[in-house]
Amino acid sequence: MSDRYTVISADCHAGADLLDYKPYLEKRHHDDFDAWAATYVNPYEDLLADTADRNWNSERRVTELAADGIVAEVVFPNTIPPFFPSASLMAPAPTREEFEQRWAGLRAHNRWLADFCSLAPGRRAGVAQILLNDVDEAVKEIRRVKAEGLTGGILLPGAPPGSGVPELYSASYDPIWAVCEELDVPVNHHGGSASPPLGDEPAARAVFMVETTWFSHRALWHLMFGGAFRRHPGLKLVLTEQGSGWIPGVVEMLDYYHDRLVAAATKAVGATAATAESKFGAGLAASMGRGPSEVWRDNCCVGASFMRPHEVPLRHRIGLDKIMWGCDYPHDEGTTPYSREGLRIAYAGLAREEVAAMAGGNAARVYGFDLALLDRLAAVHGPTVEEIAEPLKEVPAAATSPAFAPGGSVRVW
């Protein structure tokens, strides 16, 4: 048995430099791309800084992650795809007029990502992007990116109020769930991707911080109560960078409402006067199937980015086989270059097999990484078991990740 951990970050971000997307667009979009790029003003300071190339400089990225003890990564988007007003993770849903160009932009990103992942064979699981406006096109793209070798699954866009697309519990998305089940493609829902626009008032940023994770959590109960997992029992849902401490309480709450509605509807069968609650629950058991806690156990995982110490005592209630640590490279809130310290502050004192599962084993299983390959890399770059077992006594002065924030409590939503 190796004396080092094989660390896989289940949450990293990448994308091409703006103009480098052009070769990945179909030629019929090149003139429009030139016009768009000529007037585009990037809204993100980190994508204009001298460190922006961490998003697309493969050699730099491999070197920095390896120095941080990380040998593989799940790669979510970060930079601006063609024809988008902002990063696609946060961009509003396209209008009918924008739809074709936005799809072209996402396909360009997916093509670029496949090439980017190929530069570090076996070390990157790229997460492809889709739109929900056209389910048939989404299914075609899922098949295409799977064939191109992207193993990170798809990024499920949010459907915030006012988005103009059906809510995620809608059966209209069944073809997407079906192809993901068929091809063993994880469905990833990333924090920050489902909030409605809040405007430019001074309080908007604070309100966003309070509400953004809740809006991302909604995908969990939408798919559960919508019956997606009953109709597609092999479907895998991963909730990433949304924290993890909220999960036990929310799943218990969902069980409560599920049981209450199903029980009321069952008792009302044959009764002359049904209660309002029984009407709400009518058909739920048949359409949903298993209860929320069973669905969580069988179908769901959490990308627990920079897992914080107050979340760790809940690991058995969340499920040790569900938790996938992530460093969030190259974001400021990520743990790089202090990921060893981030692992220590969370996992020091835990059993070796527990740390191995959360730090890399679970991600290898969910995303299909070859552990034999990664174990060989970890034998050189991975943090030692002894190192991670040592409690962190002093937070690095330059650390900016919430993983190192003092105090903290378990979120209830």
Domain boundaries, the chain: 7-404
Please say if the pLDDT value at position 276 is more than 80. Answer: no
Does the pLDDT value for residue 282 go beyond 80?
no
- Residue 286 and residue 219: Cα distance in Å, rounded? 20
Each residue of 248-266: b (16+ CB within 10 Å) or e?
Answer: bebbeebbeebeebbebbe
Tell me which CATH code domain 7-404 carries: 3.20.20.140
The confidence score (pLDDT) of residue 263 equals 81
Tell which residue, 99, 84, 123, 110, has the closest CA to residue 16. Answer: 110
Strand, helix or coil for residue 8 = strand
pLDDT at 413: 33
Looking at residue 270, what is its pLDDT?
55
CB-based contacts of 332, cutoff 8 Å, min separation 6:
46, 400
Taken in order 282, 283, 286, 289, is the CA torsion positive or negative? negative
366 pLDDT tier (thresholds 50, 70, 90): very high
Residue 26 has a pLDDT of 97
Percent of all residues in the chain with a pLDDT value above 90, rounded to a whole number:
79
Does position 346 have pLDDT exceeding 60, yes or no?
Answer: yes
Whether pTM > 0.75 for this model: the answer is yes
Asked which of 138-147, 265-274, 361-370, 381-390 is least confident by mean pLDDT, the reply is 265-274
User: Residue 141 — pLDDT band, cuts 50, 70, 90?
Assistant: very high
pLDDT tens string 90-140: 777 788 889 999 999 999 999 999 999 999 999 999 999 999 999 999 999
Q: Residue 271 pLDDT more than 50?
A: yes
